[in-house]
Amino acid sequence: MPEHVTTAPLAAVNDFVVKFANVNGSGSASANGLFAKAIIRMGVPVSARNIFPSNIQGLPTWYEVRVTEAGHLGRRGGVDISVALNPQTWDDDVAEIVPGGYLFYDNTRPMPASKFRDDITVIGVPLTTICNEAYKLPRERQLFKNIAYVGALSWLIGIDTEVVEKVLAEEFASKAKLIGANIQAFNLGRTWAKENLKPIGLQLRHADAVGDRIFVEGNNAAALGAVYGGATVCAWYPITPSTSLAEGFMEHCEALRTNEDGSKRYAIVQAEDEIASIGIVVGAGWNGARAFTCTSGPGISLMNEFIGLSYFAEIPAVIFDVQRGGPSTGMPTRTQQSDLLLAAYASHGDTKHIMLLPADPSECFEMGAVAFDLADRFQTTVFVMLDLDIGMQEWLVEPFKWDDAREIDRGKVITFEDLEAGKEFGRYMDVDHDGVPYRTYPGTHPTRGAFFTRGTSRNRAAGYSEKGVDYQYNMERLLAKFATAARTVPAPVVRQAKRKTKSAVIYFGSTTPAMHEALEALETQGHHLDAMRVRAFPFPQEVFDFIHAHDEVFLVEQNRDAQLRTLVVTEGGIDPAQLTPVLHYDGAPITARFLIDAIGKRMSASNPIREMAE
Amino acid sequence: MTYILKPKMHHPDLPKNARGFTRRDYEGRVSTLCAGCGHDSISAAIVQSCFELDIEPHRLAKMSGIGCSSKTPDYFLGQSHGFNSVHGRMPSVLTGANLANRDLIYLGVSGDGDSASIGLGQFAHSIRRGVNMCYIVENNGVYGLTKGQFSATSDKGSKSKKGVENTESGIDLVALALQLGATYVGRSFSGDKDQLVPLIKGALSHHGPAVLDVISPCVAFNNHAGSTKSFDYVREHNEAVNRLDVILGRTPITADYAPGTVTEVTQHDGSTLRLRKLEESYDATNRIGAMNYLQERHAAGEVVTGLLFVDPDATDLHDRLGTTDVALNKLGTKELSPGAAALAKINDALR
């Protein structure tokens, strides 16, 4: 029932963006999740993002679904179909629709003409009326209205009913009564739409573009990685956006680490604060268990003293930092990559820490496991730097992989047998010339191998010492250890341009899918860039070699201060003029359109012919 | 700071305990604290307690925070692993260590600055969490390492060495520990070894959070007239509720104690606490009674010492969490990593 259209309505198959505007606490999340899952089951990839407030009930919340058969899983930018169900945000939601797009709303109550635009297609469905007629209980009227709008949309854009029914049956497998009720609500919306509306120009078709990929949140994946990596102690304090990581660990452990008699092969403590959380992790790591905490920037600030102790006393610890907007409480429910400097140099004194930079939930799983090997091997804190976009959003990613031949690597540990055999032990000696010392676990041997751990200066045998030479030896050895780490951490991934070029881009983490899409688009515009995805700090030498091999290198980051660039300049002695920052930090995930625009403009302006003759 | 090596030679006739260790095997490096420091007496009491309990030194981990008291773990149990951690945070480090390996004995040594000021939160939460530990606060009411500032356990009205009067209320860690659910609570005095050693032995044998507040006068900054933590003050105001002896189930020792009312309390690990009651009315298994008694005596200007409360049926954090009997740090790949087949199922559920 299109009204007032002056721009041609958008038409596309399996390539558009739908944004739902809801009120939080209204039960819309499960309906929106059903919408995304049904499209995936039709074989069409989606990238879905929940944009939510720091609140439990009553504030605006959005769910953005990008339907993309081409597999562009970053945010595109712009909205093609706005499902505007929140009067509080109506004006912004309507303004955001691209010309030719569609506005879907509940027209039970009439809206003044001034509230619409004449370059979009407006579709009204009397959702409230439909549900009030069908249901008596207020709770049912509210909850089923959500499923009803999915039903109406399914008719408009061609979602397969059978697929929806199958997803609902799986979802409510344990509550069979709800399957029928939800299908009924879905059909309520769909039938009304079928009788009153025509399908729109944006359509779904069955495809085969999903493959064996899984749809999962990074926090859940990282928690599973911690289980596979052998973590047994988790101490944490609730903070958005990391809370679901600890909760995920609980659920996975309950399923995977419970003995037949009900006893647990893990221990989880919700501590009184972040300081106690990291203290518990350090105590457990000292005593030979694999331990982690998960937090966000404010938590890292509080943990700083302990992180320095872990560095200096050489105690393994893993910290998952699910980054959010800062400083202070900043934007607790929005995403950023703004803790890089905080984590890399956390604590007082001269300190540097290993950071892993996963790009998606699949890599969160892998790095969530490997972080524990690295922490044990280097006897230090390892940060796994997620962000809210990776941690709390469901991503369509490669399935998790595990090789059963893989053994937990505990690093350099002197055993009872070693001590019995008379193996020499000095806690802080550089025996293998890689900066990494040997350690013993408490309780190993009745008369040999005990040492006193302290955060103050000590000699190679762990004896107290305030001698400058002892201190310096130790600090230099820690640097040597860090250099060994640079050769061990996950290597960067390089993507060569199709033509030889002196331009390049470096990016990391959740920027990855938007960057890949932007690179393809820039290429069609004639801008060729070699691209490197950095996966860890300290940077392997090839990161600096890559920069030296190019004239201009764009560094794409989701923070204000170009923090990765600072690390590259500081650690690699790179001339800052060679590194052009591309920064996105409004709290929303970076978009392909932003990158195409920012990099494309700069390349056209500074040197229109970047490509060298082949 | 001195760093003195202690001779390792043992006299061949030194008596050995049931595990074949001499008292010297429980000693550490030479103390660098001030001569006459109450903390050194506590270290000596710890050495004696561990010797008498036949603890294998490597089966005990000694943990501390920062401060004079927290330096002492270097001065006893030289064959035990030790961890001098972060100011006020020993309880969390101890908690983590305990989670990693439930088979060791955990001795936390702290001070009044470490536990009652910066670390009050961790003191409280480790107790309410039920961590199995012997938590000794070497309480001198003063910051020694930074030269004489009042600590949070300084009594209101007590005077510093410079004559300044403390105007803030003092924190009684024993009263707090009772309220927070500690299952073994005692107070003693560094100068009273006969009372202190059995209290430490009982605490080390206890299965649950055991807290000992040991008043330990600071000879440099808090052992003068006007201080309520000086040797003289404590001796004059000490109100001992009982005398304690610990008898391990496996060691048949005949009691050689003065007659009087004796109560036996059997702890979780089978050891028996024999309480010789000095106060006829005092019942050490009554938490509320202990809290009342403590407050009454405090109001009368007395420092109550002895075993104030013990719960013989105490549980610890592992019991509450339902952790497996095998120490978590001994679990290997097979027990921890669920494998590819389990992962395939998880992948399927996410499609």
Helix (H, G, I), strand (E, B) or coil at A518: helix
Whether the predicted pLDDT of A299 surpasses 70:
yes
Residues 6+ away with beta carbon under 8 Å from B206: B132, B134, B183, B184, B267, B268, B269, B310, B314
Task: Tell me the per-residue pLDDT of B76-121, one tens digit each, with 9 for 90 and over.
Answer: 999 999 999 999 999 999 999 999 999 999 999 999 999 999 999 9
Mean pLDDT within B287-309: 91
What's the pLDDT at A201? 97
| Closest in A263, A278, A287 to B101, CB measured | A287
Higher-confidence residue of A263 and B256: namely A263
CB < 8 Å to A451, chain B: 81-82
Q: Which of A106, A104, A192, A98 is nearest to A142 (CA)?
A: A106
Select from A208, A227, A232 the residue whose CB has the most chain B CBs within 10 Å, as the one to mutate to test that interface: A232
Place of tokens 């060994």: A484
In whole angstroms, how far apart are CA B11 and each of B76, B218, B344? 19, 33, 64
CB < 8 Å to B121, chain A: 272-273, 276
CA–CA dist B181, A590 (Å, integer): 50
- B59 touching A (Cβ < 8 Å): yes
What's the pLDDT at B285? 93
CB < 8 Å to B83, chain A: 283, 286, 452-454
Residues 290-329 of B with CB under 8 A from A: 317-318, 321-326, 328-329
Residue B236, judged by CB atoms within 10 A of its CB (0-12, 13-18, 19+), counts as exposed
Whether the predicted pLDDT of B253 surpasses 50:
no
| Closest in B85, B125, B340 to A404, CB measured | B340
Task: Tell me the per-residue pLDDT of A466-490, one tens digit each, with 9 for 90 and over.
Answer: 999 999 999 999 999 999 999 999 9
Q: Using the beta-carbon criterion (under 8 Å), do B101 and A400 form an inter-chain contact?
A: no
CA of A613 to nearest chain B CA: how many angstroms apart? 46
What's the pLDDT at B240? 83
Residues 6+ away with beta carbon under 8 Å from A314: A379, A380, A428, A437, A439
| Closest in B329, B337, B343 to A400, CB measured | B343
CB < 8 Å to A464, chain B: 1, 3, 74
- B61 touching A (Cβ < 8 Å): yes
Residues 6+ away with beta carbon under 8 Å from A279: A235, A271, A306, B85, B86, B89, B91, B92, B93, B95, B96, B122
Mean pLDDT within B143-149: 80
> Are residues A417 and B342 in contact, defined by beta-carbon separation less than 8 angstroms?
no
Lowest mean pLDDT among A147-161, A308-322, B270-284: B270-284
Percentage of chain B beyond pLDDT 90 is 62
CB < 8 Å to A407, chain B: 333
CA–CA dist A298, A328 (Å, integer): 7
Lowest mean pLDDT among A350-364, B19-33, B292-306: B292-306
Lowest mean pLDDT among A44-58, A263-277, A433-447: A44-58
What's the pLDDT at B276? 66
Share the mean pLDDT of chain A: 95
Residues 6+ away with beta carbon under 8 Å from B20: none
What is the pairing mode between strands B303-310 and B242-247? unpaired
What's the pLDDT at A607? 56
End-to-end CA distance of chain B, in Å? 64
Task: Please report which helix (H) or strand (E) contains residue A468, including its range.
Answer: helix A468-486
Q: Which of B79, B183, B28, B89 is nearest to A271 (CA)?
A: B89
Confidence of residue A290 (pLDDT cuts 50, 70, 90): very high
| Closest in B84, B91, B318 to A452, CB measured | B84
Residue B148, judged by CB atoms within 10 A of its CB (0-12, 13-18, 19+), counts as middle
Q: At what angle are helices A161-171 and A138-157 packed, to 10 degrees?
A: 140
- A402 touching B (Cβ < 8 Å): yes
Confidence of residue A593 (pLDDT cuts 50, 70, 90): very high
Q: Using the beta-carbon criterion (under 8 Å), do B101 and A288 form an inter-chain contact?
A: yes
Share the mean pLDDT of chain B: 88
Whether the predicted pLDDT of A71 surpasses 60:
yes
Specify whether the backbone of B39 is left (phi greater than 0), alpha (psi in -120 to 50) or beta. Answer: alpha
> Are residues A349 and A312 in contact, defined by beta-carbon separation less than 8 angstroms?
yes
Domains defined along chain B, listed by start: 23-334 (3.40.50.970)
> Are residues B136 and B110 in contact, defined by beta-carbon separation less than 8 angstroms?
yes
In whole angstroms, how far apart are CA A575 and each of A341, A549, A551, A558? 19, 13, 11, 21
CA–CA dist A247, B22 (Å, integer): 49
Residues 85-124 of B with CB under 8 A from A: 85-86, 89, 91-101, 103-104, 121-122, 124
Mean pLDDT within A95-118: 94
What's the pLDDT at B21? 94
Residues 92-131 of A with CB under 8 A from B: none
Mean pLDDT within B14-29: 94
Residues 6+ away with beta carbon under 8 Å from B9: none
> Are residues B329 and A289 in contact, defined by beta-carbon separation less than 8 angstroms?
yes
> Are residues A446 and B57 in contact, defined by beta-carbon separation less than 8 angstroms?
yes
Q: At what angle are helices A28-41 and A161-171 packed, to 10 degrees?
A: 120
CA of A87 to nearest chain B CA: how many angstroms apart? 34
Q: Which residue of A has its CA nearest to B329?
A: A289
Task: Tell me the per-residue pLDDT of A35-68, one tens digit each, with 9 for 90 and over.
Answer: 999 999 999 999 999 988 888 788 899 999 999 9
Domains defined along chain A, listed by start: 12-203 (3.40.920.10), 216-397 (3.40.50.970), 412-490 (no CATH), 493-606 (3.40.50.920)
- Torsion sign over Cα A55, A57, A58, A61: positive
Whether the predicted pLDDT of A597 surpasses 90:
yes
CB < 8 Å to B92, chain A: 235, 271, 275-280, 282-283
CA–CA dist A554, A573 (Å, integer): 17
Lowest mean pLDDT among A514-528, B27-41, B122-136: B27-41
Helix (H, G, I), strand (E, B) or coil at A494: strand
What's the pLDDT at B257? 41
| Closest in B56, B59, B97 to A287, CB measured | B97
> Are residues B229 and B218 in contact, defined by beta-carbon separation less than 8 angstroms?
yes
CB < 8 Å to B3, chain A: 463-465
Lowest mean pLDDT among A137-146, A410-419, B145-154: B145-154
Place of tokens 């009691």: B255
CB < 8 Å to A173, chain B: none
Whether the predicted pLDDT of B124 surpasses 80:
yes
What is the pairing mode between strands A291-295 and A317-325? parallel
Percentage of chain A beyond pLDDT 90 is 91
Q: At what angle are helices A218-228 and A243-256 packed, to 10 degrees?
A: 40
CA–CA dist B155, B159 (Å, integer): 9
> Are residues A55 and A24 in contact, defined by beta-carbon separation less than 8 angstroms?
yes
CB < 8 Å to B81, chain A: 440-443, 450-453
Mean pLDDT within A264-279: 98
Mean pLDDT within B234-255: 67
CA–CA dist B29, A461 (Å, integer): 14
Q: Using the beta-carbon criterion (under 8 Å), do A456 and B84 form an inter-chain contact?
A: yes
Mean pLDDT within B197-202: 96
Confidence of residue A518 (pLDDT cuts 50, 70, 90): very high
Count A/B contacts: CB-CB distance under 8 Å: 235
Select from A275, A280, A458 the residue whose CB has the most chain B CBs within 10 Å, as the one to mutate to test that interface: A280
CA–CA dist A510, A590 (Å, integer): 8
DSSP string, B105-159: EEEEEEEHIIIIITTHHHHHHHHHHT--EEEEEEE-SEETTTTSEE-TTSPTT-B
Backbone φ, ψ for residue B255 (5° rounding): -70, 135
Lowest mean pLDDT among A11-20, A108-117, B224-233, B272-281: B272-281
> Are residues B136 and B79 in contact, defined by beta-carbon separation less than 8 angstroms?
no
Q: Which residue of B has its CA nearest to A37?
A: B351
> Are residues A125 and A192 in contact, defined by beta-carbon separation less than 8 angstroms?
yes
Select from A46, A452, A456, A470 the residue whose CB has the most chain B CBs within 10 Å, as the one to mutate to test that interface: A452
Whether the predicted pLDDT of A231 surpasses 90:
yes
What's the pLDDT at A528? 97
CB < 8 Å to B17, chain A: none
Task: Tell me the per-residue pLDDT of A136-146, one tens digit each, with 9 for 90 and over.
Answer: 999 999 999 99
> Are residues A39 and A92 in contact, defined by beta-carbon separation less than 8 angstroms?
no
What's the pLDDT at B278? 66
Mean pLDDT within A419-425: 94
Task: Tell me the per-residue pLDDT of A152-167, one tens digit each, with 9 for 90 and over.
Answer: 999 999 999 999 999 9
Q: Using the beta-carbon criterion (under 8 Å), do B58 and A443 form an inter-chain contact?
A: yes
Q: Which of B222, B204, B73, B74 is nearest to B133 (CA)?
A: B204
Percentage of chain A beyond pLDDT 70 is 98
Confidence of residue B250 (pLDDT cuts 50, 70, 90): very low
Confidence of residue B222 (pLDDT cuts 50, 70, 90): confident
Give B19's DSSP letter: T
- A446 touching B (Cβ < 8 Å): yes
CA–CA dist B321, B102 (Å, integer): 12
